[in-house]
């Protein structure tokens, strides 16, 4: 049914928009996902979201223990419209819940830190399995919960006096390196499944076409068994 619905709604897109959706879809991935833990500067988190869209990362998980995240539209440049944004703000400690959820989905939890003995970016094995990259709050960094639950730790080599990059810079460097490595790894199944592509394109179309819910209702009425 979803395939037929997609075909129906796609008819309301311009050929150019339909072609663009299909082109972007080919480079979308859930092999790598990003977790933002309680970021308090919206411009930093918004910049990370923009970076995720640029590098084809579809899912972004946002933990809101103390700080609510509101997209800075001038910085995100509309990127949040095309991503699957998952917010966690119900529990007292939302980090525990998201880590459990991601591990059930087969993700290894990789904390980004500047610690001395962590794995360096160029040595990270992207083919080892699905990866959830956790970026901590600007000053304190990742929480003790992440430190305890992380499967691996990752750092960017640095050679200056300062100990760390800005979070948005860190995300850009790491995602550029890992997504390029992912796409160049032979026999790595990093692209979306056909079912995921169908669901995502439907989501994009619903955000694009005015009154898409009315068109969808009409389709369902016409295709009732």
The pLDDT of residue 222 is above 90: no
Number of domains in the chain: 1
Domain that holds residue 208: 29-212
The string of pLDDT tens digits covering residues 164-201 is 788 899 999 999 999 999 999 999 999 999 999 999 99
Output the domain CATH number for residue 173. Answer: 3.40.1280.10
Please indicate, yes or no, whether the overall pTM of this predicted structure exceeds 0.85.
Answer: yes
Instruction: Please check whether residue 201 lies inside any domain of the structure.
Output: yes
**DSSP assignment string, the chain:** -HHHHHHHHHTTS-HHHHHHHHHHHTT-BSSEEEEEES---HHHHHHHHHHHHHTTB-EEEEE-SS------HHHHTTGGGTSEEEEE-SSSSHHHHHHHHHHHTTPEEEEE---TTSEEGGG--GGGS-EEEEE-BTTTBS-HHHHHH-SEEEE----SSSS---HHHHHHHHHHHHHHHHHTSTT---BPPHHHHHHHHHHHHHHHSTTHHHHHHHHHHHT--
Instruction: Please check whether residue 3 lies inside any domain of the structure.
Output: no
The pLDDT of residue 42 is above 70: yes
Where residue 115 falls among pLDDT bands split at 50, 70, 90?
low
pLDDT at 221: 83
Instruction: Please check whether residue 59 lies inside any domain of the structure.
Output: yes
The string of pLDDT tens digits covering residues 8-35 is 999 999 999 999 999 999 999 999 999 9
Higher per-residue pLDDT: 142 or 173: 173
- What's the chain's average pLDDT? 90
Instruction: Please check whether residue 13 lies inside any domain of the structure.
Output: no
Instruction: Please check whether residue 5 lies inside any domain of the structure.
Output: no
């Amino acid at each position: 049914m979803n395939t037929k619905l997609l075909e129906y709604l796609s008819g309301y897109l311009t050929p150019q928009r339909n072609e663009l959706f299909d082109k972007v879809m080919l480079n979308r991935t859930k092999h790598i996902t990003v977790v933002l833990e309680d970021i308090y500067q919206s411009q930093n988190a918004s910049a990370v979201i923009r970076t995720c869209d640029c590098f084809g990362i579809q899912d972004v998980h946002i933990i809101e223990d103390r700080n609510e995240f509101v997209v800075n539209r001038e910085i995100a440049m509309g990127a949040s419209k095309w991503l699957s944004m998952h917010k966690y703000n119900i529990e007292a400690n939302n980090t525990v819940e998201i880590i459990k959820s991601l591990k059930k989905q087969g993700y290894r939890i990789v904390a980004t830190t500047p610690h001395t003995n962590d794995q360096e970016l160029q040595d990270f094995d992207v083919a080892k399995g699905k990866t959830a990259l956790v970026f901590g709050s600007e000053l304190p960094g990742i929480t003790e919960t992440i430190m305890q639950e992380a499967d691996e730790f990752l750092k960017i080599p640095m050679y200056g006096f300062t100990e760390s990059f800005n979070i948005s810079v860190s995300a850009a460097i790491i995602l550029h390196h890992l997504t390029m490595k992912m796409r160049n790894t032979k026999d790595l199944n990093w692209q979306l499944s056909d079912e995921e592509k169908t669901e995502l394109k439907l989501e994009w179309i619903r955000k694009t076409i005015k009154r898409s819910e009315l068109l969808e209702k009409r389709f369902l009425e016409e295709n009732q068994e």
